[in-house]
């Protein structure tokens, strides 16, 4: 009796997530990005500025407070905090300042001051390193450009169509070479696994509904309070709706279902936006 070879089930797509921790030297990351042809975001001076101030407060016990901000610059004051001996109070020691120029991305600080010298060292360190958050944002951007669709409102878990799977393999090689326990996981979902498919359908629709429902409530509250909705907010909501609607159409086609609850809420939000325009 001949034994028939069982055909492996086809996949409707894959679930993708990743783990990244620690920090990495900028030169090392740039070499790996070039090797694996992945897009590396430009190291933002504003991000390094913010991270340096955070570390100054967290690791060196200095108090950092925003002093002022306008369209051109933001200024933070750095102060030493000392405990008073006999009372539960703090007293401020010497103060200094640092400034970020928004147009030129230049960072300036009070010279010959131990507080700003400590900040300068931290700023240089962050400019020469990529944090785990930097890499996560890069991986997320590459994953989205490959065609993956978020299935969790807090992010980090994506559904990837089978046709886009090869595009993610470069990311897998990049993270493998990165080391420090970094990796990306890609788990195929067989079309025969109805429970898994239904779970993805539900997670996607609930995730999208939560986002759209938040828009509905914000618009409804603004209309009820006669606050009005400005053109910028309407434009932002409409762009989000177009993106969510596009994802819904893709998921409906890939997973053979109707995201009726989500599409109904999208229609209701469009109606509210129209009301704010006509008001």
- Read off the pLDDT band of 226 (50, 70, 90): low
Classify residue 151: in a domain, yes or no: no
Classify residue 89: in a domain, yes or no: yes
* Region 75-94 average pLDDT: 78
- Rounded distance, CA 127 to CA 122, Å? 9
Classify residue 135: in a domain, yes or no: no
- Note the pLDDT tens digit of each residue in 181-224: 888 899 888 988 999 999 999 999 998 999 999 989 988 888 77
Classify residue 117: in a domain, yes or no: yes
pLDDT at 3 (0 to 100): 54
**Residue 105's CATH number:** 3.30.160
Classify residue 162: in a domain, yes or no: no
* Region 135-152 average pLDDT: 88
pLDDT at 7 (0 to 100): 57
Classify residue 208: in a domain, yes or no: yes
CB 251 within 8 A of CB 159: yes
pLDDT tops 60 at residue 8: no
* Region 127-138 average pLDDT: 89
pLDDT at 72 (0 to 100): 93
pLDDT at 278 (0 to 100): 60
Report residue 223 as tokens: 């209309």
More confident call, 22 vs 85? 22
More confident call, 179 vs 206? 206
- Rounded distance, CA 65 to CA 98, Å? 11
What percentage of the chain carries pLDDT values higher than 90? 32
Domain carrying residue 122:
45-129
What percentage of the chain carries pLDDT values higher than 70? 94
pLDDT tops 90 at residue 275: no
In 3D, which of 176, 196, 244 has the Cα closest to residue 15? 196
- Note the pLDDT tens digit of each residue in 109-124: 888 888 888 999 999 9
Classify residue 174: in a domain, yes or no: no
Classify residue 270: in a domain, yes or no: yes
Q: Would you say how long the chain is, in residues?
A: 279
Residue 16's SS3 state is strand
pLDDT at 123 (0 to 100): 93
Q: b/e per residue, 48-76, with b = 16+ CB within 10 A?
A: bbbbbbebbeeeeebebeeeeeeeeebeb
pLDDT at 6 (0 to 100): 54
Residues 122 and 198 in one domain: no
pLDDT at 210 (0 to 100): 92
pLDDT at 48 (0 to 100): 92
The structural domain count of the chain equals 2
Q: Of the ranges 101-110, 196-205, 234-243, 268-277, which one carries the lowest mean pLDDT score?
A: 268-277
Residue 241 dihedral angles phi and psi, to the nearest 5°: -65, -40
Report residue 252 as tokens: 């409906």
pLDDT at 9 (0 to 100): 58
pLDDT at 163 (0 to 100): 85
pLDDT at 111 (0 to 100): 83
pLDDT at 31 (0 to 100): 93
Last residue of a domain, one of 106, 129, 152: 129
Last residue of a domain, one of 85, 111, 129: 129
Last residue of a domain, one of 129, 154, 181: 129
């Amino acid at each position: 009796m001949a034994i028939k070879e069982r055909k492996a089930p086809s996949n409707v797509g894959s679930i993708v997530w990743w783990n990244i921790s620690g920090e990495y030297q900028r030169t090392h990351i740039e070499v790996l990005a070039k090797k694996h042809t992945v897009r590396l975001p430009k190291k933002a001076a504003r991000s390094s500025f913010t991270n340096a101030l955070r570390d100054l407060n967290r690791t060196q016990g200095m108090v950092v407070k925003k002093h002022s901000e306008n369209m051109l610059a933001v200024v933070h004051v750095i102060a030493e905090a000392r405990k008073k001996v006999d009372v539960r109070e703090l007293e401020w020691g010497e103060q200094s300042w640092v400034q970020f120029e928004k147009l030129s991305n230049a960072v300036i600080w009070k010279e010959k001051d131990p507080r700003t010298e400590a900040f300068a060292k931290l700023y240089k360190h962050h400019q020469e390193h990529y944090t785990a958050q930097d890499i996560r944002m890069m991986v997320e951007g590459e994953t989205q450009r490959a065609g993956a669709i978020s299935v969790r409102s807090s992010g980090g878990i994506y559904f990837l169509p089978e046709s886009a799977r090869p595009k993610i393999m470069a990311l897998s090689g990049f993270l493998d070479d990165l080391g420090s326990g970094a990796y990306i996981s890609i788990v195929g979902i067989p079309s025969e696994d109805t429970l898994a498919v239904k779970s993805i359908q539900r997670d996607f629709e609930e995730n999208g509904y939560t986002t759209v429902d938040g828009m509905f409530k914000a618009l409804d509250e603004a209309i009820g309070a006669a606050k009005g909705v400005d053109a910028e907010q309407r434009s932002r909501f409409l762009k989000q709706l177009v993106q969510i609607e596009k994802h819904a159409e893709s998921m409906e086609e890939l997973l053979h279902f109707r995201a009726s609850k989500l599409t109904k809420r999208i229609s209701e939000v469009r109606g509210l936006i129209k009301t704010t325009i006509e008001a």
